[in-house]
Amino acid sequence: MERVVVVGAGLAGLTFAVAMRRAGLEVELRDERGWLGGGAGLTIWPNALAALDALDLGDAVRDLGEPVASALIRRADGSLVRRLDPVATVRALGEPARVVDRGELQALLAGHAGPVTLDAGVTDPSAIDADLVVGADGFRSVVARHLDPSLRERPAGYVAWRGVAPIAVDPSYAGVVWGDRAEAGVMPMTGGRTYWFATRAGGADVWRPDADLWPAPVPELIAATPASSVLQHEMLDRAQPRHWFDDRCVVIGDAAHAMQPGLGQGGCLAIEDAVVLAALWAERGGGRATFAAFERLRRPRVTAAVRMSRTAGRALHGRSGRALATVARRTPEPIAMRGAARFASRAAGLRALSAPER
């Protein structure tokens, strides 16, 4: 039996391990972190729920998350740009999205994935004692750089903060706020908690989420969140590896197609990747032919998402951002919903899982 090592126990690696075990195949999970979790909140869209349903975990994830179907788009002064109709949203997407705690989701997946071996950190994938290696090691993936040493990242032009406040807010506040080259978001969670994020144009010198920029309840959420638990990142942009595989290695999730958070699809597409690769592996075994089929199936979908996420980041944090409210207000609801459904709907997820090899 082939010895398969998965490098990275985030969403992609854990989901892949679960999918392989469901298919009667075993993998070894390795991660350099001594713990799993963190990362504040996460929106699991219906496309990812469809993939999790294929592993009989969809309902468990639904139970973890707070359903969100309606959302506001507001300006920084609190005025309304648009309210997304919950009936139209569910009709377009197939069901509500769920907002979950990333750590709780990873713990759920880890309970079905098997043990995770603490590894000091992979520096040379070719030195791993395995027949095949799956790189699920994220944005700064060592496996991706083994496949494409030319990979580089560059600043995307803005900083992001994320946190979970231990207070509940009125669910009608769910949605986003567009400021001057800045954005904030409010997402209710289970357990009387609220996930929030804030972004602002600038580099690493922009060091705090300025609560004065935002309408209620964003300042209250920032104030209620322990400073030690707020995550801050200068957002970076990174190309995809020229090739996702060689004779021995393949990459999935952020390792293959890191994207900015504009669509909220990074984790969801990583979950799709994991289920699709495991299904191909179960049908035809691991190796170059399977890895090539995986890349052919997945690259067009995720490349479109990467580009749209990059465009959203530039629009929200660039000089043209002031025009977004006008565009959003004037876009007919069916057109707006079709755009969201392209990536996030349950139907899109099912198509991604069942797409024939090109």
Q: What is the pLDDT of residue 207?
A: 67
**Residue type for 104, please?**
E
Q: Residue 24 and residue 284: Cα distance in Å, rounded?
A: 14
Q: Residue 323 and residue 306: Cα distance in Å, rounded?
A: 22
pLDDT single digits (tens) 53-63: 999 999 999 99
pLDDT single digits (tens) 209-242: 888 889 999 999 999 999 999 999 999 999 999 9
pLDDT single digits (tens) 87-127: 999 999 999 999 999 999 999 999 999 999 988 777 889 89
Tell which residue, 195, 221, 194, has the closest CA to residue 209.
221
The count of other CB atoms within 10 Å of the CB of residue 183 is: 26
The four Cα atoms 140, 343, 110, 9 give a dihedral, to 10 degrees, of -10
Map out the domains of the chain as residue ranges: 4-354
pLDDT single digits (tens) 145-202: 999 999 999 999 999 999 999 999 999 999 999 998 999 999 999 999 999 999 999 9
Distance of CA 201 to the CA centre of its chain: 21
pLDDT band at 34 (very low <50, low <70, confident <90, very high): low
Q: Residue 327 and residue 12: Cα distance in Å, rounded?
A: 35
pLDDT single digits (tens) 296-352: 999 999 999 999 999 999 989 987 666 666 676 667 777 778 888 999 999 999 999
Q: Measured between alpha carbons, how far is residue 195 from residues 42, 62, 258 in Å?
A: 8, 16, 22
Q: What pairing do the DSSP bridges indicate for beta strands 80-84 and 97-101?
A: unpaired
One DSSP character per residue, 57-109 reads -HHHHHHHSEEE--EEEEETTS-EEEEE-HHHHHHHHSS-EEEEEHHHHHHHH
> In b/e form, how buried is each residue of 235-259, taking b as 16+ CB within 10 angstroms?
bebbebbeebbeebbbbbbbbbbbb
Q: Answer yes or no: are the C-beta atoms of 188 and 68 closer than 8 Å.
A: yes
Q: What is the pLDDT of residue 358?
A: 46
**Half-sphere exposure in the Cβ direction for 215 (13 Å, CA):** 16
One DSSP character per residue, 314-356 reads HHHHSGGGGGHHHHHHHS-HHHHHHHHHHHHSHHHHHHHHHPP
pTM of the predicted model, to two decimals?
0.95
pLDDT single digits (tens) 135-146: 999 999 999 999
Is the backbone peptide bond immediately before 217 cis, with ω within 30 degrees of 0?
A: yes
pLDDT band at 38 (very low <50, low <70, confident <90, very high): low
The CATH code of domain 4-354 reads: 3.50.50.60
